[in-house]
Structure 1
Amino acid sequence: MQSSHTPEVNVIDKIQIVQGLEALSEIDAEIAEAYALIGAPEPRVRPTGFSAFLSIIIGQQVSTEAANAIRGRVEALLGDITAERVIAVEDQALREAGMSFRKIEYAKGMAEAQLAGTFDAEGLDQLTDAEVIESITALRGFGRWSAEIYMMFSLGRQDVFPADDLAIQVALGRLKGLEKKPTPKQARDLIEHWAPWRSVGSLFLWHYYRGAPS
């Protein structure tokens, strides 16, 4: 049974980003120096719920432009993006819309879990961070990175650090003056003291990756 709960999303807004960066600057000299040079990143907000997870599946391993085109065709095919519609539609129709058979398998599996009540896309905001990660990664096609990105941008969780993200690893290595990018474990250890502002720190690292002075 699907939840009738409508999530109230907590967005990490610009005020919180600035507040977090000021706090991080007090405890991390490299953040303070880089923040003074490039300023604060803009907030990022993504949709919540079942349709957001279908979009994540569609966007895996394809360009943003290709994902947008496929998503548009899938939305036109399904109408309302619900678990019932995903289960009902023929695999071949989704394939012709641009989804690979592996992604169709992931989408159908997610829809089955939603209908069975073993996954509740709309109710994730009621769970702890650890419970959200456990719930999402139980689905085929979703790893820890996908769960952490959803937590940051769709649920607005404030202390998330997606250490498996390549750009974050590269940016952290540059920020800290390392000879090579850290491993995910090394990255988590390096920024442990950023709690409870690790989401803001992550946003800043993406910002730094794109705009760091050479």
Structure 2
Amino acid sequence: MGIAAGAVDAAGPPARLLDSEAVLHEGVEALTACDPVMARIVAAGAVPPLRKRPPGYEGLAGIIVAQQLSTASAGAIWGRLKRLLPDLTPETFAAAADPDLKAAGLSGPKIRTLRAVAEAVGTGRLPLDALHILGADEAHRLMVAVHGIGPWTADVYLLFCLGHPDAFPAGDLALQEAARLADGLDARPGAAALKERAELWRPWRGVAAKVLWAYYRVAKARDAAPLPS
């Protein structure tokens, strides 16, 4: 039997990770059963792809590097960083010199964030390898406690790299616009309003985010999801 939306303690660990098309389909079915708006937009073509990225320090670093950059610019910087550090780990990044990292295209704030993440992983304050066994809210709390990791970064990592089915980046503008269109609102809901709206979708809020990004693609004829394929 599948897990119905709203049926799991919000503080508990996920019953399963979003790591296969079968689990994604289960989440979509649960959402369409509990929310007629979800049922309508899925029927209109908002069928999301799975989209996964590697977990761990390198996966998180890729999200941080790509923030506020075009896909092309992010790809170029990432390529130079990987040539500099083929084995990108907390240890290798901590040992890299700032001038070399800046020459690869990293800004000062991103270097500081990636160093803070490396330190937090090394000291155990950020257990990247164990976040998947925590509830989405607790995993989110641990991530945003690290300097430079904001709510969006935390939730995108949890959703795309760990496959946490209940991670929900409510501050994402494309999600807010998709929710506006789906609910027939005059204005985009803010992060707080969208987070409240998403309570209905627990423990599948991450799948709901994927459905909303897919609906944005249907409505706007362009992809706005993070980490495009």
TM-score tier (shorter): 0.7 to 0.9
**Equivalent in the alignment of 2:129:** 122
State the distance in 2 between where 1:188 and 1:107 align: 28
* Structure 2 contact 170–195 (Cα < 8 Å) conserved: yes
State the distance in 1 between where 2:135 and 2:201 align: 19
State the distance in 2 between where 1:136 and 1:180 align: 30
Deviates more, 1:113-122 or 1:85-94: 113-122
State the distance in 2 between where 1:127 and 1:23 align: 21
* Structure 1 contact 38–212 (Cα < 8 Å) conserved: no
Deviation at 1:213, TM superposition (A): 7.8
Give CA deviations for 1:71-115 in whole Å, capped at 9, x if unaligned: 111111122111221121110000001101121111122222222
Deviates more, 1:94-103 or 1:54-63: 54-63
Q: Give 1 or 2 for the bigger CA radius of gyration.
A: 1
The reply on whether 1:52 has 2:54 as its aligned counterpart is: no
The reply on whether 1:41 has 2:48 as its aligned counterpart is: yes
**Equivalent in the alignment of 1:10:** 17
Amino acid at match of 1:178: L
Higher-RCO chain (CA-CA 8 Å, sequence separation at least 6): 2
**Equivalent in the alignment of 1:140:** 147
Number of aligned residue pairs: give it.
206
RMSD: 2.0
State the distance in 2 between where 1:130 and 1:24 align: 20
Unmatched segments (≥5 aa) in structure 2: 1-15, 222-229
Taking structure 1 as the reference length, the TM-score comes to 0.88
Relative distance call for 1:82 and 1:187 in structure 2 (3 A) is same
Taking structure 2 as the reference length, the TM-score comes to 0.83
* Structure 2 contact 168–205 (Cα < 8 Å) conserved: yes
Q: Share of identical aligned residues, percent?
A: 37
Deviation at 1:143, TM superposition (A): 0.9
The reply on whether 1:182 has 2:189 as its aligned counterpart is: yes
* Structure 1 contact 87–111 (Cα < 8 Å) conserved: yes
State the distance in 2 between where 1:195 and 1:126 align: 16
Amino acid at match of 2:184: G
The reply on whether 1:169 has 2:176 as its aligned counterpart is: yes
* Structure 1 contact 145–165 (Cα < 8 Å) conserved: yes
The reply on whether 1:154 has 2:161 as its aligned counterpart is: yes
Deviation at 1:39, TM superposition (A): 4.7
Amino acid at match of 1:129: A
The reply on whether 1:27 has 2:73 as its aligned counterpart is: no
* Structure 1 contact 18–40 (Cα < 8 Å) conserved: no
**Equivalent in the alignment of 2:98:** 91
The reply on whether 1:198 has 2:205 as its aligned counterpart is: yes
